[in-house]
Chain A
Amino acid sequence: MWQRALGRAVAAIMLLIAVSFLVFSLLALAPGSLETTLLGARPATPELLAAIRGEYHLDEPFLVQYGYWLGGALQLDFGRSIVSGAPVSSIVASRLAISVQLAAMAFLLAAMIGIPAGLAAAAWKGRPGDRAITFSAVLAMSAPPFAVGSLLIFLFGVQFPILPVYGAGDDGIDRLRHLVLPAIALALGLGALVVRQTRAASLDVLSQDYMTFARARGLSRSRVALNYALRNVALPVVASLGLLLIVALPGAILVEVVFSLPGFGSMMVEAVSAKDIPVVQGLALVSAAYVIVVSVLVDLASAALDPRLRGRWAR
Protein backbone atom coordinates (compact mmCIF):
# COMPACT_ATOMS: atom_id res chain seq x y z
CA MET A 1 0.00 0.00 0.00
CA TRP A 2 2.65 2.55 1.04
CA GLN A 3 4.88 1.46 -1.77
CA ARG A 4 2.00 2.03 -4.15
CA ALA A 5 1.32 5.47 -2.68
CA LEU A 6 4.97 6.41 -3.02
CA GLY A 7 5.04 5.23 -6.64
CA ARG A 8 1.95 7.24 -7.48
CA ALA A 9 3.41 10.33 -5.80
CA VAL A 10 6.66 10.10 -7.75
CA ALA A 11 4.76 9.62 -11.03
CA ALA A 12 2.55 12.59 -10.15
CA ILE A 13 5.52 14.85 -9.53
CA MET A 14 7.15 13.82 -12.81
CA LEU A 15 3.88 14.46 -14.62
CA LEU A 16 3.55 17.86 -12.98
CA ILE A 17 7.06 18.81 -14.13
CA ALA A 18 6.22 17.76 -17.70
CA VAL A 19 2.98 19.77 -17.58
CA SER A 20 4.79 22.79 -16.17
CA PHE A 21 7.13 22.72 -19.16
CA LEU A 22 4.17 22.68 -21.57
CA VAL A 23 2.51 25.49 -19.61
CA PHE A 24 5.68 27.55 -19.76
CA SER A 25 5.94 26.93 -23.51
CA LEU A 26 2.56 28.66 -23.94
CA LEU A 27 4.41 31.95 -23.76
CA ALA A 28 6.65 31.06 -26.69
CA LEU A 29 3.77 29.48 -28.65
CA ALA A 30 1.55 32.56 -28.42
CA PRO A 31 1.49 34.50 -31.71
CA GLY A 32 3.87 37.46 -31.86
CA SER A 33 7.27 37.92 -30.25
CA LEU A 34 7.80 37.33 -26.52
CA GLU A 35 8.22 41.06 -25.85
CA THR A 36 4.99 42.07 -27.55
CA THR A 37 3.13 39.27 -25.75
CA LEU A 38 4.47 40.35 -22.37
CA LEU A 39 4.02 44.03 -23.18
CA GLY A 40 0.29 43.67 -23.68
CA ALA A 41 -1.45 47.02 -24.17
CA ARG A 42 1.32 49.07 -22.52
CA PRO A 43 3.32 51.53 -24.66
CA ALA A 44 6.55 50.05 -26.07
CA THR A 45 9.13 52.39 -24.51
CA PRO A 46 12.76 51.21 -24.62
CA GLU A 47 12.91 51.32 -20.80
CA LEU A 48 9.84 49.10 -20.39
CA LEU A 49 11.13 46.66 -23.04
CA ALA A 50 14.48 46.46 -21.23
CA ALA A 51 12.69 45.92 -17.92
CA ILE A 52 10.62 43.11 -19.43
CA ARG A 53 13.71 41.48 -20.98
CA GLY A 54 15.32 41.60 -17.55
CA GLU A 55 12.32 40.42 -15.54
CA TYR A 56 11.66 37.39 -17.76
CA HIS A 57 15.34 36.70 -18.51
CA LEU A 58 14.60 36.88 -22.25
CA ASP A 59 18.30 37.16 -23.12
CA GLU A 60 18.97 33.73 -21.61
CA PRO A 61 18.34 30.42 -23.45
CA PHE A 62 14.77 29.01 -23.34
CA LEU A 63 15.58 26.28 -20.82
CA VAL A 64 17.21 28.76 -18.44
CA GLN A 65 14.10 30.96 -18.69
CA TYR A 66 12.06 27.91 -17.81
CA GLY A 67 14.35 27.21 -14.86
CA TYR A 68 13.79 30.71 -13.47
CA TRP A 69 10.05 30.43 -14.00
CA LEU A 70 9.81 26.99 -12.37
CA GLY A 71 11.91 28.17 -9.46
CA GLY A 72 9.47 31.02 -8.93
CA ALA A 73 6.43 28.77 -9.39
CA LEU A 74 7.70 26.41 -6.68
CA GLN A 75 7.58 29.39 -4.30
CA LEU A 76 4.07 30.24 -5.62
CA ASP A 77 5.48 33.17 -7.59
CA PHE A 78 4.01 33.03 -11.09
CA GLY A 79 5.04 36.54 -12.11
CA ARG A 80 2.73 39.52 -12.57
CA SER A 81 -0.42 40.07 -14.58
CA ILE A 82 0.22 42.00 -17.79
CA VAL A 83 -3.15 43.71 -17.45
CA SER A 84 -3.32 44.74 -13.80
CA GLY A 85 0.30 44.35 -12.71
CA ALA A 86 -0.80 42.44 -9.60
CA PRO A 87 1.05 39.25 -8.64
CA VAL A 88 -0.58 36.21 -10.27
CA SER A 89 -0.57 34.24 -7.02
CA SER A 90 -2.63 36.85 -5.17
CA ILE A 91 -5.10 37.05 -8.09
CA VAL A 92 -5.53 33.27 -8.05
CA ALA A 93 -5.92 33.21 -4.26
CA SER A 94 -8.57 35.94 -4.31
CA ARG A 95 -10.64 34.02 -6.85
CA LEU A 96 -10.37 30.55 -5.37
CA ALA A 97 -12.90 30.76 -2.53
CA ILE A 98 -15.98 31.32 -4.70
CA SER A 99 -15.09 28.46 -7.04
CA VAL A 100 -14.55 26.07 -4.14
CA GLN A 101 -17.90 27.07 -2.60
CA LEU A 102 -19.66 26.67 -5.95
CA ALA A 103 -18.08 23.29 -6.61
CA ALA A 104 -18.88 22.04 -3.09
CA MET A 105 -22.55 22.98 -3.40
CA ALA A 106 -22.88 21.45 -6.86
CA PHE A 107 -21.04 18.33 -5.72
CA LEU A 108 -23.39 17.80 -2.77
CA LEU A 109 -26.47 18.36 -4.94
CA ALA A 110 -25.21 15.97 -7.63
CA ALA A 111 -24.36 13.23 -5.13
CA MET A 112 -27.53 13.55 -3.05
CA ILE A 113 -29.82 13.37 -6.08
CA GLY A 114 -27.67 11.27 -8.41
CA ILE A 115 -26.92 8.28 -6.18
CA PRO A 116 -30.52 7.51 -5.09
CA ALA A 117 -31.77 8.09 -8.65
CA GLY A 118 -29.13 5.75 -10.07
CA LEU A 119 -29.93 3.04 -7.52
CA ALA A 120 -33.66 3.40 -8.21
CA ALA A 121 -33.11 3.16 -11.97
CA ALA A 122 -31.09 -0.04 -11.53
CA ALA A 123 -33.71 -1.55 -9.22
CA TRP A 124 -36.46 -0.75 -11.75
CA LYS A 125 -34.40 -1.83 -14.77
CA GLY A 126 -36.40 -1.71 -18.00
CA ARG A 127 -39.56 -0.38 -16.33
CA PRO A 128 -41.01 3.12 -16.83
CA GLY A 129 -39.24 4.51 -13.73
CA ASP A 130 -35.87 3.42 -15.10
CA ARG A 131 -36.66 4.83 -18.54
CA ALA A 132 -37.68 8.19 -17.08
CA ILE A 133 -34.55 8.46 -14.94
CA THR A 134 -32.20 7.28 -17.70
CA PHE A 135 -33.71 9.65 -20.24
CA SER A 136 -33.59 12.60 -17.83
CA ALA A 137 -29.93 11.81 -17.24
CA VAL A 138 -29.23 11.84 -20.99
CA LEU A 139 -31.01 15.20 -21.31
CA ALA A 140 -29.14 16.65 -18.35
CA MET A 141 -25.85 15.40 -19.75
CA SER A 142 -26.61 16.88 -23.18
CA ALA A 143 -27.51 20.30 -21.79
CA PRO A 144 -24.46 22.58 -21.70
CA PRO A 145 -24.12 24.25 -18.26
CA PHE A 146 -24.16 27.70 -19.86
CA ALA A 147 -27.49 27.00 -21.58
CA VAL A 148 -29.01 25.69 -18.35
CA GLY A 149 -27.63 28.74 -16.56
CA SER A 150 -29.16 31.14 -19.09
CA LEU A 151 -32.57 29.49 -18.77
CA LEU A 152 -32.35 29.56 -14.95
CA ILE A 153 -31.57 33.28 -15.16
CA PHE A 154 -34.67 33.76 -17.28
CA LEU A 155 -36.86 31.72 -14.92
CA PHE A 156 -35.64 33.05 -11.56
CA GLY A 157 -34.30 36.42 -12.59
CA VAL A 158 -36.94 37.62 -15.06
CA GLN A 159 -40.14 35.61 -14.67
CA PHE A 160 -40.05 34.87 -10.93
CA PRO A 161 -37.35 37.11 -9.47
CA ILE A 162 -36.84 35.20 -6.20
CA LEU A 163 -33.10 34.46 -6.38
CA PRO A 164 -30.12 36.64 -7.32
CA VAL A 165 -28.70 35.82 -10.77
CA TYR A 166 -25.68 38.10 -10.93
CA GLY A 167 -22.41 38.19 -8.99
CA ALA A 168 -21.37 36.50 -5.78
CA GLY A 169 -22.93 38.74 -3.10
CA ASP A 170 -21.48 39.21 0.38
CA ASP A 171 -20.12 36.47 2.61
CA GLY A 172 -22.48 34.26 4.56
CA ILE A 173 -26.17 33.71 3.77
CA ASP A 174 -26.13 36.19 0.88
CA ARG A 175 -23.29 34.26 -0.78
CA LEU A 176 -25.27 31.05 -0.34
CA ARG A 177 -28.32 32.59 -2.02
CA HIS A 178 -26.17 33.84 -4.90
CA LEU A 179 -24.69 30.38 -5.42
CA VAL A 180 -27.98 28.42 -5.51
CA LEU A 181 -28.70 28.86 -9.23
CA PRO A 182 -25.08 28.49 -10.41
CA ALA A 183 -24.78 25.34 -8.30
CA ILE A 184 -27.94 23.88 -9.85
CA ALA A 185 -26.67 24.68 -13.36
CA LEU A 186 -23.38 22.94 -12.59
CA ALA A 187 -24.93 20.05 -10.64
CA LEU A 188 -27.26 19.02 -13.45
CA GLY A 189 -24.53 17.63 -15.70
CA LEU A 190 -22.55 16.22 -12.76
CA GLY A 191 -25.68 14.55 -11.33
CA ALA A 192 -26.37 12.94 -14.70
CA LEU A 193 -22.89 11.39 -14.64
CA VAL A 194 -23.50 10.10 -11.10
CA VAL A 195 -26.84 8.58 -12.14
CA ARG A 196 -25.30 6.75 -15.09
CA GLN A 197 -22.27 5.53 -13.13
CA THR A 198 -24.40 4.38 -10.20
CA ARG A 199 -26.93 2.65 -12.45
CA ALA A 200 -24.22 0.88 -14.49
CA ALA A 201 -22.34 -0.19 -11.34
CA SER A 202 -25.54 -1.45 -9.68
CA LEU A 203 -26.61 -3.43 -12.75
CA ASP A 204 -23.15 -4.94 -12.84
CA VAL A 205 -23.43 -6.02 -9.20
CA LEU A 206 -27.02 -7.27 -9.56
CA SER A 207 -25.96 -9.64 -12.34
CA GLN A 208 -23.23 -11.27 -10.22
CA ASP A 209 -23.54 -14.88 -9.12
CA TYR A 210 -23.22 -14.04 -5.43
CA MET A 211 -26.41 -11.99 -5.66
CA THR A 212 -28.33 -14.90 -7.15
CA PHE A 213 -26.85 -17.16 -4.50
CA ALA A 214 -27.77 -14.77 -1.68
CA ARG A 215 -31.37 -14.68 -2.87
CA ALA A 216 -31.39 -18.45 -3.38
CA ARG A 217 -30.34 -18.93 0.23
CA GLY A 218 -33.54 -17.17 1.20
CA LEU A 219 -31.94 -14.09 2.78
CA SER A 220 -34.32 -11.22 3.35
CA ARG A 221 -34.63 -8.62 0.59
CA SER A 222 -33.29 -5.84 2.78
CA ARG A 223 -30.29 -7.91 3.81
CA VAL A 224 -29.47 -8.76 0.19
CA ALA A 225 -29.86 -5.13 -0.83
CA LEU A 226 -27.81 -3.63 2.02
CA ASN A 227 -25.11 -6.19 2.75
CA TYR A 228 -24.54 -7.53 -0.73
CA ALA A 229 -25.63 -4.99 -3.32
CA LEU A 230 -24.89 -1.62 -1.70
CA ARG A 231 -21.50 -2.61 -0.29
CA ASN A 232 -20.31 -3.63 -3.71
CA VAL A 233 -21.86 -0.68 -5.51
CA ALA A 234 -20.19 1.73 -3.09
CA LEU A 235 -16.69 1.33 -4.52
CA PRO A 236 -17.27 2.36 -8.15
CA VAL A 237 -19.63 5.09 -6.98
CA VAL A 238 -17.05 6.58 -4.61
CA ALA A 239 -14.47 6.47 -7.40
CA SER A 240 -16.85 8.27 -9.77
CA LEU A 241 -17.57 10.92 -7.12
CA GLY A 242 -13.85 11.59 -6.92
CA LEU A 243 -13.68 12.06 -10.66
CA LEU A 244 -16.58 14.53 -10.41
CA LEU A 245 -14.16 16.85 -8.65
CA ILE A 246 -12.20 16.95 -11.90
CA VAL A 247 -15.20 17.09 -14.24
CA ALA A 248 -16.60 20.01 -12.21
CA LEU A 249 -13.63 22.18 -13.17
CA PRO A 250 -14.51 22.93 -16.81
CA GLY A 251 -18.23 23.08 -15.95
CA ALA A 252 -17.52 25.68 -13.28
CA ILE A 253 -15.76 27.87 -15.85
CA LEU A 254 -18.92 28.11 -17.97
CA VAL A 255 -21.26 28.58 -15.03
CA GLU A 256 -19.10 31.32 -13.52
CA VAL A 257 -19.10 33.20 -16.82
CA VAL A 258 -22.90 32.96 -17.16
CA PHE A 259 -23.59 34.15 -13.62
CA SER A 260 -20.73 36.71 -13.56
CA LEU A 261 -19.18 35.00 -10.54
CA PRO A 262 -15.67 36.31 -9.85
CA GLY A 263 -14.18 32.82 -9.53
CA PHE A 264 -11.25 30.80 -10.77
CA GLY A 265 -12.95 29.79 -14.04
CA SER A 266 -14.13 33.23 -15.12
CA MET A 267 -10.61 34.46 -14.33
CA MET A 268 -9.25 31.87 -16.77
CA VAL A 269 -11.56 33.07 -19.54
CA GLU A 270 -10.77 36.74 -18.83
CA ALA A 271 -7.04 36.03 -18.88
CA VAL A 272 -7.24 34.05 -22.13
CA SER A 273 -9.31 36.79 -23.83
CA ALA A 274 -6.96 39.52 -22.57
CA LYS A 275 -3.93 37.43 -23.66
CA ASP A 276 -2.63 37.81 -20.12
CA ILE A 277 -0.23 34.88 -20.50
CA PRO A 278 1.38 34.93 -17.01
CA VAL A 279 -2.07 34.66 -15.40
CA VAL A 280 -3.08 31.88 -17.83
CA GLN A 281 0.14 30.03 -16.97
CA GLY A 282 -0.48 30.37 -13.23
CA LEU A 283 -4.09 29.21 -13.51
CA ALA A 284 -3.18 26.32 -15.82
CA LEU A 285 -0.43 25.11 -13.50
CA VAL A 286 -2.67 25.31 -10.43
CA SER A 287 -5.43 23.41 -12.30
CA ALA A 288 -2.98 20.75 -13.43
CA ALA A 289 -1.69 20.29 -9.88
CA TYR A 290 -5.28 20.05 -8.63
CA VAL A 291 -6.27 17.46 -11.25
CA ILE A 292 -3.17 15.34 -10.62
CA VAL A 293 -3.55 15.43 -6.82
CA VAL A 294 -7.26 14.54 -7.00
CA SER A 295 -6.70 11.58 -9.32
CA VAL A 296 -3.92 10.22 -7.10
CA LEU A 297 -6.15 10.60 -4.03
CA VAL A 298 -9.09 8.88 -5.76
CA ASP A 299 -6.82 6.04 -6.72
CA LEU A 300 -5.51 5.64 -3.17
CA ALA A 301 -8.99 6.01 -1.64
CA SER A 302 -10.29 3.20 -3.86
CA ALA A 303 -7.44 1.04 -2.67
CA ALA A 304 -8.16 1.84 0.96
CA LEU A 305 -11.84 0.99 0.49
CA ASP A 306 -11.41 -2.22 -1.45
CA PRO A 307 -9.36 -4.98 0.15
CA ARG A 308 -9.18 -6.75 -3.23
CA LEU A 309 -7.31 -3.87 -4.88
CA ARG A 310 -4.99 -3.64 -1.90
CA GLY A 311 -4.09 -7.29 -2.35
CA ARG A 312 -3.46 -6.86 -6.04
CA TRP A 313 -1.05 -4.00 -5.48
CA ALA A 314 0.88 -5.66 -2.69
CA ARG A 315 2.01 -8.38 -5.05
Chain B
Amino acid sequence: MSRLAEARAGAPRRSLRRVPISIVVAAATALVFLFLAVFGTLVAPYDPDLQDLALGVAPPSAAHWLGTDQLGRDVFSRLIVATGPALAGPIVVAIATVLVGASLGLLAGYFGGRTDDIISRVADLIWSLPGLLVAIVVIGVLQGGLWLTVAVIAFISSPHAIRQTRSATLAQIGLPYVAAARTMGLSDVRIVVRHLLPNVRATVITTAMLDFVTAILVFAALAFLRIGVEPGAANWGTMLADGQTLITVNLAVIAAPAIAIVAVAASITVIGDWGHERATGEAGR
Protein backbone atom coordinates (compact mmCIF):
# COMPACT_ATOMS: atom_id res chain seq x y z
CA MET B 1 0.00 0.00 0.00
CA SER B 2 1.37 3.41 -0.88
CA ARG B 3 1.91 5.85 1.98
CA LEU B 4 -0.85 8.08 0.70
CA ALA B 5 -3.41 5.28 0.59
CA GLU B 6 -2.19 4.14 4.00
CA ALA B 7 -2.70 7.60 5.39
CA ARG B 8 -6.14 7.74 3.87
CA ALA B 9 -7.17 4.36 5.19
CA GLY B 10 -5.74 5.11 8.62
CA ALA B 11 -7.01 8.65 8.99
CA PRO B 12 -10.66 8.17 9.86
CA ARG B 13 -10.02 5.37 12.32
CA ARG B 14 -7.33 7.34 14.12
CA SER B 15 -9.51 10.44 14.37
CA LEU B 16 -12.42 8.34 15.65
CA ARG B 17 -10.28 6.84 18.39
CA ARG B 18 -9.27 10.35 19.47
CA VAL B 19 -12.84 11.44 20.17
CA PRO B 20 -12.89 12.21 23.90
CA ILE B 21 -15.44 10.58 26.13
CA SER B 22 -17.11 13.93 26.90
CA ILE B 23 -17.97 14.32 23.22
CA VAL B 24 -19.45 10.82 23.11
CA VAL B 25 -21.62 11.61 26.15
CA ALA B 26 -22.67 14.96 24.68
CA ALA B 27 -23.54 13.36 21.32
CA ALA B 28 -25.55 10.64 23.04
CA THR B 29 -27.50 13.25 25.04
CA ALA B 30 -28.19 15.25 21.90
CA LEU B 31 -29.34 12.10 20.07
CA VAL B 32 -31.74 11.18 22.89
CA PHE B 33 -33.38 14.60 22.62
CA LEU B 34 -33.43 14.38 18.83
CA PHE B 35 -35.20 11.02 19.14
CA LEU B 36 -37.73 12.53 21.56
CA ALA B 37 -38.23 15.47 19.22
CA VAL B 38 -39.16 13.18 16.34
CA PHE B 39 -41.00 10.37 18.13
CA GLY B 40 -42.09 12.27 21.27
CA THR B 41 -45.83 11.85 20.78
CA LEU B 42 -45.35 8.05 20.42
CA VAL B 43 -43.08 7.72 23.46
CA ALA B 44 -45.05 9.88 25.89
CA PRO B 45 -46.91 7.71 28.43
CA TYR B 46 -49.91 10.07 28.63
CA ASP B 47 -51.72 12.53 26.40
CA PRO B 48 -49.87 15.77 27.31
CA ASP B 49 -53.11 17.76 27.36
CA LEU B 50 -55.13 15.19 29.34
CA GLN B 51 -56.33 16.93 32.50
CA ASP B 52 -56.97 15.25 35.83
CA LEU B 53 -58.43 18.10 37.84
CA ALA B 54 -59.27 15.79 40.75
CA LEU B 55 -55.56 14.99 41.08
CA GLY B 56 -54.27 18.53 40.44
CA VAL B 57 -50.62 19.24 41.16
CA ALA B 58 -48.89 16.19 42.66
CA PRO B 59 -45.28 15.16 43.37
CA PRO B 60 -43.59 12.38 41.34
CA SER B 61 -45.13 8.93 41.75
CA ALA B 62 -45.05 5.53 40.04
CA ALA B 63 -47.93 6.55 37.77
CA HIS B 64 -46.53 10.03 37.00
CA TRP B 65 -42.71 9.87 37.03
CA LEU B 66 -42.32 13.65 37.19
CA GLY B 67 -45.65 14.31 38.89
CA THR B 68 -48.43 16.48 37.52
CA ASP B 69 -49.05 20.23 37.08
CA GLN B 70 -51.88 22.43 38.35
CA LEU B 71 -54.34 20.91 35.85
CA GLY B 72 -53.27 17.35 36.66
CA ARG B 73 -51.41 16.97 33.37
CA ASP B 74 -48.47 14.54 33.28
CA VAL B 75 -45.23 16.58 33.45
CA PHE B 76 -43.11 13.80 31.92
CA SER B 77 -45.36 13.57 28.85
CA ARG B 78 -45.48 17.34 28.45
CA LEU B 79 -41.69 17.51 28.73
CA ILE B 80 -41.27 14.88 25.99
CA VAL B 81 -43.89 16.29 23.64
CA ALA B 82 -42.42 19.81 24.02
CA THR B 83 -39.03 18.59 22.75
CA GLY B 84 -40.07 18.75 19.10
CA PRO B 85 -41.24 22.38 19.15
CA ALA B 86 -38.27 23.31 21.38
CA LEU B 87 -35.76 22.04 18.79
CA ALA B 88 -37.61 22.71 15.51
CA GLY B 89 -37.54 26.51 15.69
CA PRO B 90 -33.85 26.69 16.66
CA ILE B 91 -32.92 24.21 13.90
CA VAL B 92 -34.60 26.41 11.30
CA VAL B 93 -32.84 29.44 12.82
CA ALA B 94 -29.46 27.70 12.66
CA ILE B 95 -29.96 26.70 9.02
CA ALA B 96 -31.13 30.18 8.01
CA THR B 97 -28.33 31.86 9.96
CA VAL B 98 -25.70 29.69 8.37
CA LEU B 99 -27.07 30.04 4.83
CA VAL B 100 -27.07 33.83 5.13
CA GLY B 101 -24.03 34.14 7.40
CA ALA B 102 -21.77 31.72 5.58
CA SER B 103 -22.46 33.18 2.14
CA LEU B 104 -21.97 36.77 3.32
CA GLY B 105 -18.88 35.76 5.32
CA LEU B 106 -17.39 33.99 2.28
CA LEU B 107 -18.16 37.03 0.09
CA ALA B 108 -16.60 39.43 2.61
CA GLY B 109 -13.51 37.26 3.08
CA TYR B 110 -12.98 36.42 -0.58
CA PHE B 111 -13.57 39.78 -2.22
CA GLY B 112 -12.31 42.00 0.62
CA GLY B 113 -12.19 45.74 -0.03
CA ARG B 114 -15.48 47.58 -0.13
CA THR B 115 -17.62 44.41 -0.12
CA ASP B 116 -15.91 43.39 3.11
CA ASP B 117 -16.27 46.88 4.59
CA ILE B 118 -20.01 47.04 4.01
CA ILE B 119 -20.77 43.50 5.16
CA SER B 120 -18.55 43.77 8.24
CA ARG B 121 -19.91 47.18 9.28
CA VAL B 122 -23.51 46.02 9.10
CA ALA B 123 -22.61 42.77 10.90
CA ASP B 124 -20.85 44.71 13.69
CA LEU B 125 -23.89 46.92 14.01
CA ILE B 126 -26.33 44.04 14.46
CA TRP B 127 -23.78 42.25 16.68
CA SER B 128 -23.83 45.14 19.14
CA LEU B 129 -27.59 44.82 19.72
CA PRO B 130 -28.77 42.92 22.79
CA GLY B 131 -30.58 40.16 20.91
CA LEU B 132 -33.19 39.09 23.43
CA LEU B 133 -34.22 42.71 23.99
CA VAL B 134 -34.78 43.24 20.26
CA ALA B 135 -36.74 40.00 20.09
CA ILE B 136 -38.96 40.98 23.04
CA VAL B 137 -39.75 44.39 21.59
CA VAL B 138 -40.29 43.37 17.96
CA ILE B 139 -42.14 40.10 18.56
CA GLY B 140 -44.11 41.53 21.48
CA VAL B 141 -45.25 44.64 19.65
CA LEU B 142 -46.00 42.92 16.34
CA GLN B 143 -47.62 40.01 18.21
CA GLY B 144 -45.89 37.65 15.82
CA GLY B 145 -45.91 33.88 15.96
CA LEU B 146 -43.32 31.21 15.23
CA TRP B 147 -42.11 32.51 11.87
CA LEU B 148 -41.54 36.07 13.02
CA THR B 149 -39.65 34.67 16.02
CA VAL B 150 -37.49 32.54 13.71
CA ALA B 151 -36.81 35.50 11.43
CA VAL B 152 -35.90 37.87 14.27
CA ILE B 153 -33.57 35.38 16.00
CA ALA B 154 -31.92 34.47 12.69
CA PHE B 155 -31.41 38.16 11.99
CA ILE B 156 -29.74 38.88 15.33
CA SER B 157 -27.60 35.70 15.19
CA SER B 158 -26.34 36.14 11.62
CA PRO B 159 -23.39 38.45 12.52
CA HIS B 160 -21.81 35.59 14.49
CA ALA B 161 -21.88 33.33 11.42
CA ILE B 162 -20.65 36.14 9.17
CA ARG B 163 -17.69 36.95 11.41
CA GLN B 164 -16.65 33.32 11.93
CA THR B 165 -16.91 32.40 8.24
CA ARG B 166 -15.13 35.59 7.23
CA SER B 167 -12.15 34.97 9.48
CA ALA B 168 -11.97 31.30 8.41
CA THR B 169 -12.01 32.45 4.78
CA LEU B 170 -9.28 35.02 5.43
CA ALA B 171 -7.13 32.25 6.93
CA GLN B 172 -7.54 30.23 3.70
CA ILE B 173 -7.27 33.01 1.16
CA GLY B 174 -3.49 33.31 1.33
CA LEU B 175 -2.86 29.59 0.89
CA PRO B 176 -1.29 28.39 -2.36
CA TYR B 177 -4.30 26.39 -3.53
CA VAL B 178 -6.39 29.56 -3.86
CA ALA B 179 -3.66 31.25 -5.88
CA ALA B 180 -3.34 28.09 -7.97
CA ALA B 181 -7.08 28.04 -8.65
CA ARG B 182 -6.92 31.71 -9.69
CA THR B 183 -3.94 31.06 -11.96
CA MET B 184 -5.86 28.27 -13.65
CA GLY B 185 -8.46 30.87 -14.52
CA LEU B 186 -11.31 29.39 -12.48
CA SER B 187 -14.26 31.70 -11.96
CA ASP B 188 -14.77 33.39 -8.57
CA VAL B 189 -17.96 31.41 -8.04
CA ARG B 190 -16.18 28.12 -8.65
CA ILE B 191 -13.26 29.00 -6.36
CA VAL B 192 -15.59 30.04 -3.56
CA VAL B 193 -18.02 27.13 -3.85
CA ARG B 194 -15.74 24.27 -4.84
CA HIS B 195 -12.47 25.22 -3.15
CA LEU B 196 -13.00 27.64 -0.27
CA LEU B 197 -16.31 26.34 1.05
CA PRO B 198 -15.06 22.78 1.69
CA ASN B 199 -12.12 24.21 3.63
CA VAL B 200 -14.22 26.44 5.89
CA ARG B 201 -16.91 23.78 6.28
CA ALA B 202 -15.85 22.82 9.81
CA THR B 203 -16.13 26.44 10.96
CA VAL B 204 -19.53 26.80 9.33
CA ILE B 205 -20.87 23.67 11.02
CA THR B 206 -19.58 24.54 14.50
CA THR B 207 -20.93 28.08 14.09
CA ALA B 208 -24.33 26.64 13.23
CA MET B 209 -24.25 24.54 16.40
CA LEU B 210 -23.49 27.52 18.63
CA ASP B 211 -26.20 29.60 16.90
CA PHE B 212 -28.59 26.71 17.51
CA VAL B 213 -27.80 26.89 21.25
CA THR B 214 -28.36 30.65 21.33
CA ALA B 215 -31.68 30.17 19.55
CA ILE B 216 -32.82 27.49 22.06
CA LEU B 217 -32.13 29.88 24.93
CA VAL B 218 -33.86 32.84 23.25
CA PHE B 219 -36.89 30.72 22.31
CA ALA B 220 -37.14 29.45 25.89
CA ALA B 221 -36.78 32.97 27.30
CA LEU B 222 -39.53 34.33 25.02
CA ALA B 223 -41.83 31.44 25.94
CA PHE B 224 -41.07 32.07 29.61
CA LEU B 225 -42.17 35.67 29.13
CA ARG B 226 -45.17 34.41 27.11
CA ILE B 227 -44.15 36.43 24.07
CA GLY B 228 -44.95 34.97 20.64
CA VAL B 229 -46.17 31.58 21.94
CA GLU B 230 -49.61 30.03 21.71
CA PRO B 231 -51.11 29.55 25.16
CA GLY B 232 -51.73 26.02 26.37
CA ALA B 233 -49.23 24.19 24.14
CA ALA B 234 -46.57 22.13 25.92
CA ASN B 235 -43.42 24.25 25.89
CA TRP B 236 -40.32 24.16 28.12
CA GLY B 237 -40.31 27.91 28.65
CA THR B 238 -44.02 28.18 29.50
CA MET B 239 -43.76 25.09 31.74
CA LEU B 240 -41.12 26.96 33.74
CA ALA B 241 -43.27 30.07 33.92
CA ASP B 242 -46.44 28.20 34.93
CA GLY B 243 -44.57 26.06 37.44
CA GLN B 244 -43.33 29.01 39.53
CA THR B 245 -46.19 28.73 42.02
CA LEU B 246 -46.18 24.91 42.14
CA ILE B 247 -42.61 24.28 43.35
CA THR B 248 -43.63 23.70 46.96
CA VAL B 249 -45.63 20.64 45.87
CA ASN B 250 -43.85 19.41 42.77
CA LEU B 251 -40.36 20.74 42.07
CA ALA B 252 -40.16 18.64 38.88
CA VAL B 253 -42.56 21.04 37.12
CA ILE B 254 -39.70 23.52 36.80
CA ALA B 255 -36.65 21.31 37.40
CA ALA B 256 -37.44 18.99 34.45
CA PRO B 257 -37.72 21.65 31.72
CA ALA B 258 -34.75 23.52 33.22
CA ILE B 259 -32.60 20.39 33.08
CA ALA B 260 -33.82 19.61 29.56
CA ILE B 261 -32.81 23.08 28.32
CA VAL B 262 -29.41 22.89 30.03
CA ALA B 263 -28.78 19.34 28.76
CA VAL B 264 -29.52 20.18 25.12
CA ALA B 265 -27.70 23.52 25.18
CA ALA B 266 -24.65 22.19 27.04
CA SER B 267 -24.25 19.05 24.92
CA ILE B 268 -24.40 20.98 21.65
CA THR B 269 -22.02 23.63 23.05
CA VAL B 270 -19.51 20.96 24.11
CA ILE B 271 -19.59 19.40 20.62
CA GLY B 272 -19.45 22.81 18.94
CA ASP B 273 -16.49 23.95 21.08
CA TRP B 274 -14.64 20.74 20.32
CA GLY B 275 -15.24 21.15 16.59
CA HIS B 276 -14.23 24.81 16.77
CA GLU B 277 -11.00 23.99 18.58
CA ARG B 278 -10.15 21.24 16.08
CA ALA B 279 -10.95 23.47 13.11
CA THR B 280 -9.11 26.60 14.25
CA GLY B 281 -6.88 25.58 17.15
CA GLU B 282 -8.47 28.30 19.30
CA ALA B 283 -10.46 27.89 22.49
CA GLY B 284 -14.19 28.60 22.41
CA ARG B 285 -15.25 32.00 23.70
Residues on A lying within 8 angstroms of B by beta carbon are 15, 26, 29-31, 131, 135, 138-139, 141-144, 146-148, 150-151, 153-154, 158, 196-197, 199-200, 203-204, 246-247, 249-250, 253-254, 257-258, 268-269, 272-273, 275, 277, 280, 284, 287, 291-292, 295
Contact = CB atoms under 8 A, between A and B. Distances in A.
Contact of A138 (B131, B137, B138, B270): B270
Contacts of A258: 244
B11 interface: no
Contacts of B227: 269, 272-273
A253 B132 CA distance: 9
A18 to B, nearest CB: 9
B125 interface: yes
B284 A26 contact: no
B95 interface: no
A269 B282 CA distance: 38
Where chain A touches its partner, the secondary structure class is: helix
Contacts of A199: 283
A258 B240 CA distance: 10
Interface residues of B, number: 46
Contact of A269 (B129, B136, B244): B136
A247 B130 contact: yes
Nearest to A265: B133
B174 to A, nearest CB: 20
A15 B136 CA distance: 21
Interface string B114-140: 000000000001001111110011101
A264 B131 CA distance: 17
B141 A200 contact: no
Interface of B: 22, 125, 128-133, 136-138, 140-143, 213, 217, 220-221, 224-227, 240-241, 243-244, 247-248, 251, 254-255, 257-258, 261-262, 264-266, 269-270, 273, 282-285
B131 A250 contact: yes
Contact of B247 (A26, A144, A153): A153
A139 B266 contact: yes
Nearest to A157: B247
A138 B209 CA distance: 14
B202 to A, nearest CB: 18
A146 B247 contact: no
B283 A249 contact: no
Given A142-B265, A203-B283, A291-B130, A273 B140 contact: yes
Contact of B130 (A143, A144, A250): A250
B248 A150 contact: no
B224 to A, nearest CB: 5
Contacts of A247: 130
B217 A142 contact: yes
A250 B142 contact: no
Q: Which of A142, A153, A249, A253 gathers the greatest number of chain B CB atoms within 10 Å?
A: A142
Contacts of B217: 142, 144
A280 B269 contact: no
A203 B225 CA distance: 38
Contacts of B130: 246-247, 249-250, 287, 291
B136 A143 contact: no
B258 to A, nearest CB: 4
B240 A30 contact: no
A144 B220 contact: yes
Given A142-B262, A150-B240, A154-B247, A295 B128 contact: yes
Contacts of A158: 247-248
B180 to A, nearest CB: 30
Contacts of B257: 147
Nearest to B283: A200
Contacts of A146: 221, 224, 240-241
Given A143-B265, A203-B283, A291-B130, 7 more contacts: A141-B265, A144-B220, A146-B241, A246-B130, A269-B136, A272-B141, A277-B141
